């Protein structure tokens, strides 16, 4: 039987580490790390994420500021808020919750954030640094997956890692992080031919496609480590991942549940990036 990776517990341990580091940082500098979270519109899932981020900030002793714009806000309103936050010395990290409404160009918004305050790691400067092997802020979910593997004692070097999904938020940056850790990487997507044959090669299989329970038992090699990034709400109200857990768990050596796997790690890494951003401005 497989080991279920407890993301809630690992995230709790990391947040406690960050809380202590924040105390020390404040004693040394007199500065409180500050995170601004901007939400446009009233998407229910995004509202939940934003609330969780604010609460997590307060628990580790950060300043947390929330900005809410209506769903029909214009791009220039959002850009003006970002301009002010870029110039605000109390704010070290800026996060604009994605997805944004159609009238707003996400890429223009991402590029407006000062790279040193881009705690999502989405700005081209931070993406480029990751590609070049000299990372600045790194995207939270991929970084959280690496932490899960490290803190569970799963070795990465030399492994065959297969990622299903090529998003800018998860698939692409995760491929670069695993590559930097000397895994052999395959990134699959909707046009991949013979997906099961490819996923069966994986020592580490990451499902980040946003497709409910698409990874079936027969797609997974015996003894593989399975990481599920999916968060899909079904019509009957159930929350499921991209992995058919009941079929896959008996074959996996380790597997993350949904919820309680990758999700809580994203927030822990956001706090880590915000503390790092505050350290950067204080040259610590
Ligand atoms: N929406 C889903 N995941 C994320 C994330 O990591 N950051 C932001 N800003 N929006 C998201």
pLDDT at 50: 95
Rounded distance, CA 229 to CA 102, Å?
A: 25
The residue count of the chain comes to 284
DSSP 78-114: HHHHHHHHHT-TT--EEEEPSSPPTTS-HHHHHHHS-
Alpha helices in the chain (DSSP H): 7-29, 44-59, 75-86, 106-112, 124-132, 140-152, 171-180, 195-199, 245-248, 263-281
For a substitution probing ligand 1, which of 36, 51, 95 has the most ligand atoms within 8 Å of its CB?
A: 95
Looking at residue 166, the DSSP 8-state letter turns out to be: -
List pLDDT tens digits, range 100-154: 999 999 999 999 999 999 999 999 999 999 999 999 999 999 999 999 999 999 9
User: Is the distance from CB of 14 to CB of 147 less than 8 angstroms?
Assistant: yes
> Which of 121, 127, 155 is CA-nearest to residue 270?
121
Question: What distance in angstroms lies between residue 263's CA and the mean position of ligand 1's atoms?
Answer: 11
**What residues does ligand 1 touch, defined as CB less than 6 Å away?**
95-98, 120, 140-141, 169, 266
> Which of 248, 252, 257 is CA-nearest to residue 223?
252
For a substitution probing ligand 1, which of 45, 49, 232, 272 has the most ligand atoms within 8 Å of its CB?
A: 49
**What atom in ligand 1 is closest to the CA of residue 140?**
6
**What atom in ligand 1 is closest to the CA of residue 98?**
10
From atom 2 of ligand 1, which residue's Cα is the shortest distance away? 98
Give pTM, 2 decimals.
Answer: 0.97
Rounded distance, CA 197 to CA 16, Å?
A: 41
Q: What is the mean pLDDT of residues 74-90?
A: 98
Q: Is the pLDDT of residue 10 over 90?
A: yes
pLDDT at 215: 98
pLDDT at 174: 98
- Judged by phi (left if over 0) then psi (alpha if -120 to 50, else beta), residue 260 lies in left
Give me the chain's average pLDDT, please: 97
Rounded distance, CA 188 to CA 178, Å?
A: 15
Rounded distance, CA 202 to CA 242, Å?
A: 16
Is 120 marked active-site? yes
Question: What distance in angstroms lies between residue 98's CA and the mean position of ligand 1's atoms?
Answer: 5
Question: What distance in angstroms lies between residue 97's CA and the mean position of ligand 1's atoms?
Answer: 5
Question: What distance in angstroms lies between residue 255's CA and the mean position of ligand 1's atoms?
Answer: 23
Confidence label for 221 from pLDDT (cuts 50, 70 and 90): very high
Q: Is the pLDDT of residue 1 over 90?
A: no
List pLDDT tens digits, range 146-201: 999 999 999 999 999 999 999 999 999 999 999 999 999 999 999 999 999 999 99
For a substitution probing ligand 1, which of 36, 53, 120, 268 has the most ligand atoms within 8 Å of its CB?
A: 120
pLDDT at 282: 87
Rounded distance, CA 147 to CA 247, Å?
A: 25
From atom 9 of ligand 1, which residue's Cα is the shortest distance away? 97
Kindly state the helix (H) or strand (E) to which residue 205 belongs, with its residue range: strand 204-207
Confidence label for 79 from pLDDT (cuts 50, 70 and 90): very high
Confidence label for 283 from pLDDT (cuts 50, 70 and 90): confident
Domains, the chain, with CATH or none: 30-114 (3.40.50.10860), 140-263 (3.40.50.720)
Q: Which of 116, 118, 120, 172 is catalytic?
A: 120
What is the SS3 assignment for 64?
Answer: strand
pLDDT at 122: 98
Rounded distance, CA 121 to CA 137, Å?
A: 5
Question: What distance in angstroms lies between residue 52's CA and the mean position of ligand 1's atoms?
Answer: 12
CA distances to 123, 152, 169, 213, 223 from 54, in Å: 22, 27, 20, 30, 38
Question: What distance in angstroms lies between residue 256's CA and the mean position of ligand 1's atoms?
Answer: 19
Cis peptide leading into residue 99 (ω within 30°): yes
Rounded distance, CA 47 to CA 33, Å?
A: 22
**What atom in ligand 1 is closest to the CA of residue 95?**
9
**What atom in ligand 1 is closest to the CA of residue 99?**
1
Q: What is the mean pLDDT of residues 50-67?
A: 97
Q: Is the pLDDT of residue 284 over 80?
A: no
């Amino acid at each position: 039987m497989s080991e279920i990776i407890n993301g809630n517990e690992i995230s709790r341990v990391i947040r406690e580490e960050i809380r202590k580091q924040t105390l020390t940082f404040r004693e040394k500098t007199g500065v409180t790390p500050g995170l601004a979270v901007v939400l446009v519109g009233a998407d229910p899932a995004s509202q939940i994420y934003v609330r969780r981020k604010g609460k997590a900030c307060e628990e580790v002793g950060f300043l947390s500021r929330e900005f809410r714009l209506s769903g029909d806000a214009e791009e220039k309103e959002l850009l003006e808020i970002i301009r002010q936050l870029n110039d605000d010395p109390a704010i070290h990290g800026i996060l604009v919750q994605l997805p944004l409404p159609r009238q707003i160009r996400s890429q223009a918004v991402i590029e407006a954030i000062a790279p040193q305050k881009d705690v999502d790691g989405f700005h081209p400067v931070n993406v480029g640094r990751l590609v070049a092997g000299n990372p600045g802020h790194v995207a939270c979910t991929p970084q959280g997956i690496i932490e899960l593997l490290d803190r569970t004692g799963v070795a990465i070097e030399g492994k065959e890692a297969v990622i299903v999904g090529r998003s800018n938020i998860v698939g692409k940056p995760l491929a670069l992080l695993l590559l930097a850790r000397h895994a052999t990487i395959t990134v699959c997507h909707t046009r991949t031919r013979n997906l099961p044959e490819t996923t069966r090669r994986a020592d580490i299989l990451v499902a980040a496609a946003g497709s409910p329970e698409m990874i079936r038992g027969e797609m997974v090699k015996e003894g593989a480590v399975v990481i599920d990034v999916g968060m899909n709400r079904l019509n009957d109200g159930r929350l499921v991942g991209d992995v058919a857990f009941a079929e896959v768990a008996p074959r996996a050596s380790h597997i993350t549940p949904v919820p309680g796997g990758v999700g809580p790690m994203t927030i822990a890494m956001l706090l880590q990036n915000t503390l790092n951003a505050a350290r950067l401005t204080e040259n610590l």
